[in-house]
Amino acid sequence: MNSILAIINKDFKSFFYSPVAYIIIAIFAALSGVFFYLYTSNFIEAAFMDTMRSQQYRMAAQKFNVNLMLIRPYFWNIALISIFTLPAITMRLYSEEKRAGTVELLYTTPIMPVQIIIGKFIAGLLFYIVLLIPTMFFQSILFMYGSPEFFPVLSGYIGLILMGSAFIAAGLFISTTTENQIIAAIGGFALSLLLWVIGWGAHSAGPLLGGVLDYISIINHFEDFAQGVIDSTHIIYYLLFSFVGLYFSTKMIESVKWRA
Amino acid sequence: MISVDGLTRYYGDKRALSDVSFHVKKGEILGLLGPNAAGKTTAMRILTCYMPPTSGAATIGGYDILSQSMEVRKITGYLPENPPLYHDMVVNDYLEFVCRLKGIPKDRFSIEIDSVLEKTNLGDERSRIIGKLSKGYKQRVGLAQSLLNNPQIVILDEPTVGLDPKQIIEIRELIKNLKGEHTVILSSHILPEIEQTCERVVIINDGKVVAEDTPENLTNHLKGIERVFLQVEGKEEDIRSALNSVKNIKSLNIDSVTDGIVKVSIESDVDLRKKLAKTIVTAGLGLVELSADRFTLEDIFLHLTTKEEAA
Ligand SMILES: Nc1ncnc2c1ncn2[C@@H]1O[C@H](COP(=O)(O)OP(=O)(O)OP(=O)(O)O)[C@@H](O)[C@H]1O
Ligand SMILES: [Mg+2]
């Protein structure tokens, strides 16, 4: 346990030694901020137009649901930004240790491969949560000026963190296979792209193939979370995905270690 | 304390170690000596559980390196060939991280860190960023890391590489001070280093052990042979014919001729210095220099390794 904490502590801090981390935080905040602004202004415009119309025609104003029209698509947006940001977080997580030769320290001190992997995974997840903080700030604005339902927001973040775990576990595995960060990043992006495209394909493919693709696609499992539904099948899917990623990462370093 | 039995290691088809065996007693300092690519690093990586041997076995402090690797790691401190440092970290934070990896209780961190910083003379650098230290100081941080938790066994892969002469002397002193309390294996391809710090030497070449003894015994090995260097003024033929009259010369070699000064080296079973001097002077040649030379570990090393290649 202490060894895991040692790795979490070291790797979480080490994100901030590199300027890349600040660039990622800045880009993530900027993108999620711009999309928040666009969604919010669209929503306000639509609501405003409706009010105008209802006054003109003396009709009851339509009910505009913030959760449905703003928060839900916004979560989708964050999910999409996330899957293309996470490879940049995971790329150096293990590759850097191999490149710098510090694996020689990790492999000759009494820490087990599984502890190294879990520590790095948690460090990556914590950094992802840091990335999400600005979006929480944006959404809190909605609560200051309106009264959206809180639960869908909570479930959205739970979904993001679960989906993030799956991507981080997969990215960590890619990172264990190479000592080159750039290759690890490209591999991670390729995987994200593939999973994203599969999600798209699922909607346009036939019922049978579509069903299969829909299940494989990491991002489609996020759908329910974004609309405030916490379904155990999706939780299990993400946990299983993360577990498999961590399992293979551990096996990878155990075997690479024995081959080096 | 350390017992190595028939270690063999292949990298793909390439054999880096073949059937290496040796023992190290408690408190002893053993030198692992060999030229580049001899297999020193490979042997050390196997002993520190970084990777397994292809075949063979070894125990460290009674623990088997394969089946009890965690126990081995707990009692072993290791300085790899390239010090395993995180260049963005501050020295103190780095050592604290290693303390945690080694499972040292938190309340002992500062005692442990202070003690290794003192041993490696790094006290003033503790809050500097590792990446900004000079190579020699980085090496010291690597060494400091290996000494954390006061390990019974210390394995050092070329610990003085990249250090200046003053630092080399300091590190050698440090290693000598480890003697008794710690069991040390240290590798090097620099002979004086091994000669000065180690009580016993294992010489490996091309993955095989070619000799194992104390530095003194290895020198005694070839002790029967006396070597004399001469610088004589005169013609090469005259010198040869004059020296031919001296008995007991085992080999005579003209090393070079420059500006009428001939450099000669002679090997023999007995001390010929007086006789040689007399012969040259009576032959009317000018004796510029005469000196005796003992075989150094360097010679033995070359002798052993070249013999091995010829076989
Ligand atoms: N990871 C590896 N993959 C393939 N071959 C390797 C690997 N590591 C070492 N070797 C080979 O094994 C042999 C022994 O290498 P090793 O590093 O153990 O030598 P060494 O005695 O430490 O040399 P040096 O004094 O240069 O450090 C060399 O021929 C080397 O090329
Ligand atoms: Mg080496």
Lining residues, ligand 1, CB within 6 Å: A 260; B 11, 14, 16, 34, 36-42, 81, 189
| Domains contained in chain B, CATH given | 2-214 (3.40.50.300), 224-294 (3.30.70.3190)
Distance CA A97, CA B84 (A): 9
Cβ neighbourhood burial of B260 (10 Å; 0-12, 13-18, 19+): exposed
**Closest C-alpha to A31, from A110, A72, A85:** A85
* Closest residue by CA, ligand 1 atom 29: B37
**CB-CB: which of B48, B52, B86 is closest to A14?**
B86
Distance CA B64, CA B46 (A): 11
Within a 13 Å sphere around the CA of B79, how many CA atoms are in the beta-carbon half? 25
**Closest C-alpha to B193, from B227, B159, B142, B219:** B159
Collapsing DSSP states into helix, strand and coil, what is residue B228? strand
Crossing angle (nearest 10°) for helices A2-15 and B91-101 = 150
* Residue of chain A minimizing CA distance to B49: A108
Q: In the structure, what pLDDT confidence band is assigned to residue B310 with cuts at 50, 70 and 90?
A: very low
Q: Is B103 in contact with A3 (Cβ distance < 8 A)?
A: yes
Distance CA B55, CA A99 (A): 28
In angstroms, the separation between the Cα of residue B190 and the nearest Cα of chain A is 24
In angstroms, the separation between the Cα of residue A120 and the nearest Cα of chain B is 14
In angstroms, the separation between the Cα of residue A115 and the nearest Cα of chain B is 11
pLDDT in tens, A128-181: 999 999 999 888 888 888 777 888 889 999 999 999 999 999 999 999 999 998
CB pairs under 8 A between A and B: 72
Q: For residue A37, is pLDDT > 50? A: yes
Give residue B113 CA to ligand 2 midpoint distance, Å.
Answer: 27
In angstroms, the separation between the Cα of residue A257 and the nearest Cα of chain B is 6
Distance CA A14, CA B158 (A): 29
Distance CA A54, CA A44 (A): 15
Q: In the structure, what pLDDT confidence band is assigned to residue B212 with cuts at 50, 70 and 90?
A: confident
Q: In the structure, what pLDDT confidence band is assigned to residue B300 with cuts at 50, 70 and 90?
A: low
For residue B145, list chain A residues with Cβ-Cβ distance below 8 A.
105
Q: Which ligand is nearest to the CA of A260?
A: 1
* Residue of chain A minimizing CA distance to B79: A105
| pLDDT computed for residue B297 by the predictor | 60
Q: For residue B108, is pLDDT > 50? A: yes
* Residue of chain A minimizing CA distance to B69: A110
**Sign of the four-CA dihedral A130, A135, A137, A143:** negative
Give the number of the atom of ligand 1 that is nearest the alpha carbon of residue B42. 18
Q: Is A101 in contact with B51 (Cβ distance < 8 A)?
A: no
Distance CA A179, CA A154 (A): 38
B108 inside 8 A of chain A by CB: no
Q: For residue B144, is pLDDT > 90? A: yes
pLDDT in tens, A75-125: 888 998 998 899 999 999 999 999 999 999 999 999 999 999 999 999 999
**CB-CB: which of B73, B80, B98 is closest to A101?**
B80
Give residue B17 CA to ligand 1 midpoint distance, Å.
Answer: 9
Listing DSSP states for B25-81 in one string gives: -TT-EEEEE--TTSSHHHHHHHHTTSS--SEEEEEETTEETTTTHHHHHHHEEEE-S
Distance CA B49, CA A15 (A): 29
Long-range contacts at A74-78 (CB < 8 A, ≥ 24 apart): A74/A35, A74/A36, A74/A39, A74/A139, A75/A156, A75/A159, A75/A160, A75/A222, A75/A225, A75/A226, A76/A222, A76/A226, A77/A32, A77/A35, A77/A39, A78/A32, A78/A35, A78/A132, A78/A135, A78/A160
pLDDT in tens, B178-211: 888 899 999 988 777 788 888 899 989 889 998 8
Please count the residues of chain B: 311
Residues 6+ apart with CB under 8 A from A215: A237
Distance CA B242, CA B256 (A): 18
